[in-house]
Amino acid sequence: MPRSENFRAAADGLTTSAKITPREKDRQVRKNNLLGWIGCLLATLSLFFNPVAVLSILAIIFSSIGVAKASDLDDKGKASGRGTSLTGLIIGIVGLICFAWKMTQLVA
């Protein structure tokens, strides 16, 4: 395999024999499962700023899609981002519970 093809294969994440640095794995996950990353970001934001629980609901939706996509990527042997998607899902649920608790405190 010529050097340029070898570089392209490494950039596509097709090589498994080389050690992958954490930064490179992070790039592959963001490329392969962007919805999981968006869900995790929205969930983190929802803990600090959550008007009408919109961010938590969006985080749960995007993270759920990310978890589903991660199972497909696991079958193909690519970096899946399952942990990031699950983290976004859990934090999104916690943000929704915190929002509900805040609303009950305001009403009571």
Structural domains of the chain, count: 1
Per-residue pLDDT of the chain (108 residues; tens, 9 = 90+): 455 555 555 555 555 556 778 778 777 777 778 888 899 999 999 888 878 889 999 999 999 998 888 877 777 777 678 888 999 999 999 999 999 998 999 997
pTM: 0.70
**d(C-alpha 67, C-alpha 73), whole Å:** 10
Q: Is residue 31 part of a domain?
A: yes
pLDDT for the residue numbered 41: 93
Q: Is residue 7 part of a domain?
A: no
Q: Which of 58, 36, 35, 33 lies closest to 45, judged by CA?
A: 58
- CA distances, 61 to each of 15, 36, 40, 75, 106 (Å): 32, 10, 11, 22, 27
User: 3-state SS string over 75-100?
Assistant: HHCCCCCHHHHHHHHHHHHHHHHHHH
Q: Is residue 4 part of a domain?
A: no
- Show the domain range for 88: 22-107
Q: Is residue 66 part of a domain?
A: yes
**d(C-alpha 8, C-alpha 56), whole Å:** 38
